[in-house]
Amino acid sequence: KQEVTQIPAALSVPEGENLVLNCSFTDSAIYNLQWFRQDPGKGLTSLLLIQSSQREQTSGRLNASLDKSSGRSTLYIAASQPGDSATYLCAVCAGGYQKVTFGTGTKLQVIP
Amino acid sequence: NAGVTQTPKFQVLKTGQSMTLQCAQDMNHEYMSWYRQDPGMGLRLIHYSVGAGITDQGEVPNGYNVSRSTTEDFPLRLLSAAPSQTSVYFCASRETGETQYFGPGTRLLVL
């Protein structure tokens, strides 16, 4: 059974800092990994999708990397802003029917 | 495109009542899923469908039924609501191996 872990569970940083969020998974036979953002009381917004054949994806100030062999992904946020405050979730797609397993998330607070 | 829509946004039920949470997508996606989100538990897969007429159980299927008669719709039925089913429910859709899109969620309170 795929297990997805995100550490830390919460993170508080001053505005302007670069930061890294971590995601680890137990079964490396994955199709892809996706990072989401969730604001309080809202749904999930997709940030980046990395296919199993890719090593990284970039969108603006966000960069996500994938190391399948070690079962790890990182989400790098450059020059953090208060608007980045949210919970960040990673989700791994694997298995015969490509089921998606979520981590429990990292709650990020960027302090002005 | 409306994307993924869910109704209702909020619902209060009494223990033992039944109800259906609606989900629809207009992107012609094959894959649709239902998740529940509880504090400290993350999102857990309830049921999923890989196409019209095909459904399967996820991690926490007990107490829920689904059907997929069309590509667009994937309703979730609570047969006899229990307080343990108080949660936020999200529906999602995607193409195989591609980005997953989520609906805005339904907040369910079972008294």
Three-state DSSP at B85 gives helix
Whether residue B43 lies within 8 A of chain A, CB to CB, comes out as yes
Mean pLDDT across chain A: 94
* C-alpha distance across the termini of chain B, in Å: 36
The reported pLDDT for the residue numbered B81 is: 96
CA A85 to chain centre: 14
What are the residues whose beta carbons fall under 8 Å from the beta carbon of B51, sequence distance 6 or more?
Answer: B30, B68, B71
Q: Write out the two tokens for A62.
A: 């966000």
Asked if the model's pLDDT at residue B8 lies above 90, the reply is yes
| A34-89 per-position pLDDT tens digit | 999 999 888 999 999 999 999 999 999 999 999 999 999 999 999 999 999 999 99
Question: Taking CB atoms and an 8 Å cut-off, how many pairs form between chains A and B?
Answer: 51
Residue in B33, B40, B103 nearest the CB of A100: B33
- Chain A environment of B49 (Cβ under 8 Å): none
Whether residue B79 lies within 8 A of chain A, CB to CB, comes out as no
Contact A2, A92 (CB under 8 A): yes
Q: What is the spatial distance between Cα A55 and Cα B30, in angstroms, rounded to a whole number? A: 27
Residue type, B16: G
> Nearest CA to CA, how far is A34 from chain B (Å)?
7
Residue type, B12: V
- Chain A environment of B98 (Cβ under 8 Å): 49
| B10-53 per-position pLDDT tens digit | 999 999 999 999 999 999 999 999 999 998 788 999 999 999 99
Indicate the burial class of B89 (C-beta count within 10 angstroms; 0-12, 13-18, 19 or more).
buried
Please, which pLDDT band fits residue B54 given cuts at 50, 70 and 90?
Answer: very high
Q: Identify which of A20, A25, A29, A2 has the alpha carbon closest to the alpha carbon of residue A88.
A: A20
Whether residue B3 lies within 8 A of chain A, CB to CB, comes out as no
Residue type, A10: A
| Omega prior to B8 cis, within 30 of 0 | yes
Contact B20, B67 (CB under 8 A): no
| Omega prior to B75 cis, within 30 of 0 | no
What are the residues whose beta carbons fall under 8 Å from the beta carbon of B53, sequence distance 6 or more?
Answer: B68, B69
> Nearest CA to CA, how far is B10 from chain A (Å)?
12
- Contact across the interface for A46 and B100, Cβ inside 8 Å: yes
